[in-house]
Amino acid sequence: MLRNQFFRSQTVFAGSKRFYSVRKLAELDASKLIVKQVSEKSSPKPNDQLVFGSTFTDHMLTIEWDAKKGWANPVIKPYGNLSLDPASCVFHYGFELFEGMKAYRTPDNKITLFRPDMNMKRMNKSAARICLPTFNSDELVKLIGKLIEQDKHLVPQGQGYSLYIRPTLIGTTDTLGVGVPDKAMLFVINSPVGPYYKTGFKAVRLEATDYATRAWPGGVGDKKLGANYAPCILPQLQAASRGFQQNLWLFGPEKYITEVGTMNVFFAFKNSKTGKKELVTAPLDGTILEGVTRDSVLTLARENLNPNEWEINERYYSIHEVAERAAKGELIEAFGSGTAAVVSPIKEIGWKDSLINVPLLPGEQSGALTKQVASWIADIQYGRTKHSNWSQVVADLN
Ligand SMILES: *Cc1c(COP(=O)(O)O)cnc(C)c1O
């Protein structure tokens, strides 16, 4: 299996002359793009009618892959149905992975992507794990840029508004034998979206869940595979029936806190003896999705928070620690992090028969740090401040 994967995996492979000469497959190449435009452009929906991920732009990007030929010419064409053989392996064995990223309009009327290199790296890792073809990241970013350019009039304007981008890779081999796919399709669809919480923050209630497990050591919880998501809906319904919006996923006999819903999660504590504060999130041990937002929160917290006041740690911590420290008054904040909502404040956690209260600012829907983190990230995303190479311009509306 590994050998097969190397044959197909050009980015891993390009350096090795010996293998490369065995089978010279076409690389993903943005310069080969073919564009078929819609006959009539649609007009943008008013901002207040944008529902997350329910409307899409006029065009989509598709790229076919074949084990004998490699990546075919990329095509941008009108958004529409796919036609696939019902035997396609995506339908039977879960050969599917996806990404979630956003494009933003800046005050000087440019459209930028937020840290797209991170999403491409993660997408290639997901692909390699389920024997789907890898690709040159820069070429896909260029192609996504072309797709956005095509529908740039549909990128919404205003704080909290953005274009949600959904790159997807599926296996399309049309035989029922379980094996390495010899055909695949990469496609990208874009959805204009509004703020996750229409009226500013809305703090959520979580149910600490130990009767279902999202991810485990040696598993694939750190990859954005479709197969990881369907099994998490039933526990969410069960939590909802008890009045909680999301699951706080626990792991193992220690009941470590891992993630919340489909977001990474952060807790802030204050040591009542020393007065020192700590921002904590779970370490990337293979059971945690390597969130771009998670990495951004950690980076910005390390750069901006005073080290005499704050310690920032990626470490194991359990629901028992959270419950004990909440009882001592040491729990000061908690929030989820992910591309869709960016940060999502938490106000209460149901754990067995008790409720853990997470403090919020008086009369508000978040804590002070949550608010601060949200504004640091938004300022960079909307181009009001610059952070190294985090924003990449893909279209200019001037
Ligand atoms: C996508 C995702 C995240 C967040 O990742 P971002 O790159 O920050 O959007 C966290 N956890 C899970 C399970 C996810 O699927």
Please report, for the chain, the start and end positions of each structural domain, with discontinuous segments joined by +.
Answer: 19-193, 204-366
Quick one: fold of 19-193?
Answer: D-amino Acid Aminotransferase; Chain A, domain 1 (3.30.470)
Contact 268, 277 (CB under 8 A): yes
C-alpha 371 – ligand 1 centre gap (Å): 20
263 lines ligand 1 (CB under 6 A): yes
> What tens digit of pLDDT does each residue of 28-74 get?
999 999 999 999 999 999 998 888 888 999 999 999 999 999 999 99
| Distance, CA of 269 to chain centre | 26
User: Which of 345-369 are b and which e, b meaning 16 or more Cβ less than 10 Å from the residue's Cβ?
Assistant: bbbbbbbeeeebebebeeeebbbeb
CA dist., res. 121 & res. 124, Å (int): 5
The reply to whether 204-366 shares the fold of 19-193 is no
Distance CA 135, CA 220 (A): 20
Residue 14 pLDDT class (50, 70, 90 cuts): very low
**pLDDT of 388-398, one tens digit each?**
999 999 999 88
Cβ atoms of 211 and 247 within 8 Å: the answer is no
Residue 46 CB neighbours (<10 A): 8
Ligand 1 pocket: which of 101, 247, 251, 263 to mutate (most atoms within 8 A of CB): 263
Residue 18 has pLDDT above 80, yes or no: no
Is the distance from the beta carbon of residue 293 to the nearest atom of ligand 1 less than 6 Å?
yes
Rounded CA-CA distance 394/383 in Å is 13
Ligand 1 pocket test target in 52, 294, 296, 377 with most atoms within 8 Å of CB: 294
Pocket of ligand 1 contains residue 126 by CB under 6 Å: no
Which tens digits make up the pLDDT trace of 146-202? 999 999 999 999 989 999 999 999 999 999 999 999 999 999 999 999 988 777 899
Between 301 and 15, the higher pLDDT residue: 301
Query: For residue 113, what are its two tokens?
Result: 């992507």
The CA 340 to ligand 1 mean position distance, Å, reads 9
Quick one: pLDDT at residue 43?
A: 94
Q: Is the CB of 292 under 6 A from ligand 1?
A: yes
Residue 246 Cβ inside 6 Å of ligand 1? The answer reads no
Cβ of residue 122 lying under 6 Å from some atom of ligand 1:
no
| Mean pLDDT of all residues in 222-233 | 98
191 ligand 1 Cβ < 6 A: no
Q: What are phi and psi of 148, to 5 degrees?
A: -65, -45
Q: pLDDT tens-digit profile of 334-378?
A: 999 999 999 999 999 999 999 999 999 999 999 999 999 999 999
Distance 175 CA to ligand 1 centre (A): 32
**From the alpha carbon of 100, which atom of ligand 1 is closest?**
9
Ligand 1 atom with the shortest distance to the CA of 101: 9
pLDDT of residue 246: 97
To test the pocket of ligand 1, the residue of 166, 213, 251, 264 to mutate (highest count of ligand atoms within 8 Å of its CB) is: 264
pLDDT band at 15 (very low <50, low <70, confident <90, very high): very low
Nearest-CA residue for ligand 1 atom 3 is: 263
Q: How many CB atoms lie within 10 A of CB 187?
A: 17
C-alpha atoms less than 13 angstroms from C-alpha of 395 in its C-beta half-sphere:
19
Tell me what pLDDT residue 242 has.
97
Tell me the three-class secondary structure of 49-98, residue by residue: HCCCCCCCCCEEEEEEEECCCEECCCEEEECCCCCCCCCCHHHHHCCEEE
- What integer pLDDT is reported at residue 23 of this predicted model? 64
Cα 262 to averaged position of ligand 1 atoms, centre (Å):
6
Of all protein residues, whose CA lies closest to atom 15 belonging to ligand 1?
Answer: 262
Q: From atom 10 of ligand 1, which residue's Cα is the shortest distance away? A: 263
Q: What does the pLDDT read at residue 22?
A: 57
Task: Calculate the CA dihedral of residues 210, 249, 193, 64 and round it to 10 degrees.
Answer: -100
Ligand 1 in contact with 262 (CB < 6 A)?
A: yes
Q: Please give the full DSSP string across 136-204, using - where no structure is assigned.
A: -HHHHHHHHHHHHHHTGGGS--STT-EEEEEEEEEE---S-S-S--SEEEEEEEEEEE--SSTTS---E
Q: What is the largest CA-CA distance in the chain?
A: 68
Per-residue pLDDT reduced to its tens digit, 291-348: 999 999 999 999 999 999 999 999 999 999 999 999 999 999 999 999 999 999 999 9
Q: How many beta carbons lie within 10 A of that of residue 237, not counting itself? A: 8
Measure the CA–CA gap between 8 and 154, rounded to whole angstroms. 36
pLDDT tens for 248-306 read 999 999 999 999 999 999 999 999 999 999 999 999 999 999 999 999 999 999 999 99
* E strands, the chain, in order: 34-35, 59-66, 70-71, 75-78, 96-98, 101-105, 110-114, 162-171, 183-193, 204-209, 246-251, 256-260, 263-270, 277-281, 310-314, 331-338, 342-351, 354-357, 391-396
d(CA 332, CA 277): 9
Say what the pLDDT of residue 398 is. Answer: 84
Which listed CATH number (3.20.10.10, 3.40.50.300, 3.40.50.720, 3.40.50.1820) goes with 204-366?
3.20.10.10
Tokens 């029922």 belong to 176
Q: Whose CA is nearest to atom 14 of ligand 1?
A: 262
Identify whether the C-beta of residue 158 lies closer than 8 Å to the C-beta of residue 198.
Answer: no
pLDDT at 2: 46
Could you give the CA distance from residue 103 to residue 145 in angstroms, rounded to a whole number? 9
